[in-house]
Amino acid sequence: MKKVLITGAAGFLGSHLCDRFINEGYSVIGMDNFITGDEKNLVHLENHPNFQFINHDVTEFVSIEGDLDYILHFASPASPIDYLKIPIQTLKVGSLGTHNLLGLAKAKGARILIASTSEVYGDPLVHPQTEDYYGNVNTIGPRGVYDEAKRFQESITMAYHRFHGLETRIVRIFNTYGPRMRLNDGRVIPAFMGQALRGEDLTIFGDGSQTRSFCYVDDQVEGIYRLLLSDYAEPVNIGNPHEITIKEFAEEIIKLTGTTQKVIYQDLPINDPLQRQPDISLAKKLLGWVPKVDRSEGMKITFDYFKSLTEEELYKSEHKDFKSHIKV
Ligand SMILES: NC(=O)c1ccc[n+]([C@@H]2O[C@H](COP(=O)([O-])OP(=O)(O)OC[C@H]3O[C@@H](n4cnc5c(N)ncnc54)[C@H](O)[C@@H]3O)[C@@H](O)[C@H]2O)c1
């Protein structure tokens, strides 16, 4: 039985990856320190014979007993609200955390896949974004803590690949959504759905003409799974190229949720990208991968998930007490 370590296992994507690898017959070790994750996301795997969980901060030395075939490094705050509140932890998990996991991969002879992001393209001047675009990132802007951590993560991963011959994979993930996202993490889908469920107006930042493209989590996981098993070491975009303006998207949410509230407008945050759309030609060619889940179908599943939350979860304004985790 192949063994895989998944960091960030208690988070949104990490928990779905744990499910996928368990279903594929792997032995899975999930690792997380719960800084933005939630035990609830893994509760269904608690007694699974092929699942083990380790509560650990990956910015500290990481050690695993026995063999390891694969590592998927997904630990990192991922939403702007999170990384603006815990900027130093964000920089540390992308740099020190990645270094620790590359070292572990080298020691075990394991293949490692790291979760990079479309944020490496910053506020892109090229549209849609292909993997050979270098990006337009403000290093010292508020989002720089995340963007630069991820850019460093890619650099050190390629250095381990080139210098040590380590088997590495880099996925550049574009906006992904689905069940187990946090309602209050500031990302647009949970934000709109939470507002609709609480009977609040839907908030658009800016004039709503900025575009986004949203990939359903099952499609994302399929792309990541195929990339891990491929033989391609350079970055690959995985995301859904179907682009929509935030204003149009708000209208879709109003229709889906049946809310009678209106849309209100607030100032656009600094360095918020105006356009984001992956060019997925490389993923198509290399992995035979294209997203399959239609936005209306994925949004319905996601809304059903948010509807199943308790009143307490729905009205909690702050999901996380970051203070208990801060030791920089
Ligand atoms: N969801 C997306 O649309 C998206 C887009 C681009 C990139 N990504 C990347 O995918 C990964 C997962 O994102 P997500 O949306 O699931 O976020 P998430 O916040 O739901 O999950 C991240 C997990 O990492 C854990 N974590 C953070 N720092 C840690 C540390 N030092 N040690 C151990 N665990 C730690 C958190 O507790 C959390 O469970 C991140 O690396 C993120 O940058 C996600």
Every domain of the chain and the residues it spans = 3-324
Residues 6+ apart with CB under 8 A from 128: 241, 277, 278, 279
Residue 326 has pLDDT above 70, yes or no: no
117 lines ligand 1 (CB under 6 A): yes
Question: In which residue are the tokens 């998927």 written?
Answer: 72
* Across 238-246, average pLDDT: 96
Sequence-separated contacts (24+) of 131-137 with Cβ below 8 Å: 131/172, 131/234, 131/235, 131/236, 131/237, 131/279, 131/282
* Across 49-64, average pLDDT: 98
113 three-state secondary structure:
strand
CA of 190 to the centre of ligand 1 (A): 16
CA of 255 to the centre of ligand 1 (A): 30
Residue 216, burial from CB neighbour count under 10 angstroms (0-12, 13-18, 19+): buried
Mutation test residue for ligand 1: of 72, 74, 180, 188, the one with most atoms within 8 Å of CB: 74
Q: By alpha-carbon position, which residue is closest to atom 29 of ligand 1?
A: 75
**Structure-model confidence comparison of residues 275 and 160, the more confident one:** 160
11 lines ligand 1 (CB under 6 A): yes
240 lines ligand 1 (CB under 6 A): no
Name the residues annotated as catalytic.
146
* Across 175-187, average pLDDT: 93
pLDDT of residue 305: 97
Query: Residue 90 in contact with residue 83, Cβ under 8 Å?
Result: yes
Residue 275 has pLDDT above 90, yes or no: no
Atom of ligand 1 nearest to the CA of 34: 37
pLDDT tens-digit readout, 12-35 = 999 999 999 999 999 999 999 999
Query: Residue 89 in contact with residue 77, Cβ under 8 Å?
Result: yes
pLDDT of residue 272: 73
Q: By alpha-carbon position, which residue is closest to atom 35 of ligand 1?
A: 75
Reference 135, options 146, 123, 121, 155; nearest CA is 121
CATH superfamily of 3-324: NAD(P)-binding Rossmann-like Domain (3.40.50.720)
- SS3 of 239-276: the string is CCCCEEEHHHHHHHHHHHHCCCCCEEEECCCCCCCCCC
Q: Whole-model pTM above 0.85?
A: yes
Q: By alpha-carbon position, which residue is closest to atom 1 of ligand 1?
A: 176
